[in-house]
Amino acid sequence: MEKLHNLTKISQIISHALRHEPWKYGIELDDNGWVAIEKLAKAIEETNPDIQINQQIIQDVLDTSDKKRFELKEGKIRAFYGHSIPHKIEYPEAKPPTILYHGTGSKYLEKILKEGMQAMSRQYVHLTEDLNIAKIVGKRKDGNLVILTINSSNAYKNGIKFYNPSENIWLADEIPSQFISTNS
């Protein structure tokens, strides 16, 4: 059987292993979400016999992706954000820009405006500085896109912690409703 070199498929598998169910691949992430690249590659090959993966292929995944989902450092890799694993990945607190965006579906709007934004099945609420990214993410929710505008400067001044794990992506533990508005 020929080994696959589909970088999109490999990226999806890496995301799953690092963000959601590392135990299914027999890997253990450290407290900050890191695992040795060699261990990850070996684990993916063992659980997906049709996949060939090594450090160069992982580097190719990072170089060709328009979404910066992973970070490499000192022979290790981790996902920047999107984790649903049990232990929380910690990031240093950062002062956010004045405004951030979040794309969602209209069916969630009433609840968000009433109760604020919660991390739900993820570890953090995901936000962005880039309106186009918010639109892309929001279109995945349902057919009726709503863009939420977050007064992140005011939220930060009122004690809401923000984290900036990668370019254009911001995380928060929660966003209370008083800091959320919509243009609709």
Task: Provide the whole-model pTM.
Answer: 0.60
Q: Tell me the C-alpha to C-alpha distance, in Å, between residue 126 and each of 27, 55, 60.
A: 25, 28, 26
- pLDDT at position 51: 81
- 83: helix, strand or coil: coil
Q: Tell me the C-alpha to C-alpha distance, in Å, between residue 118 and each of 54, 145, 156, 174, 184.
A: 37, 19, 16, 5, 21
**Which H or E run contains 98?**
none
Across-strand partners of 76?
A: 36, 73
For residue 162, name the pLDDT band (cuts at 50, 70, 90). very high
Q: Is the pLDDT of residue 142 over 70?
A: no
CA distance linking residue 84 with residue 137, whole number of Å: 17
Name the residue type at position 62: L
Pair 85, 22: CB distance under 8 Å? yes
Least trusted range by pLDDT, from 67-81, 88-102, 151-165? 67-81
Name the residue type at position 86: P
What is 99-182's CATH number? Answer: 3.20.170.30
For residue 4, name the pLDDT band (cuts at 50, 70, 90). very low
Please provide the DSSP assignment of 141-158 as one string. T-SSEEEEEEEHHHHHHT
> Do 99-182 and 7-79 have the same topology in CATH?
no
User: What are the residue ranges spanned by the domains of the chain?
Assistant: 7-79, 99-182
Neighbouring CB atoms inside 10 A of 68's CB total: 14
- pLDDT at position 52: 83
- pLDDT at position 150: 97
Classified by CATH at the fold level, domain 7-79 comes out as: Arc Repressor Mutant, subunit A (1.10.10)
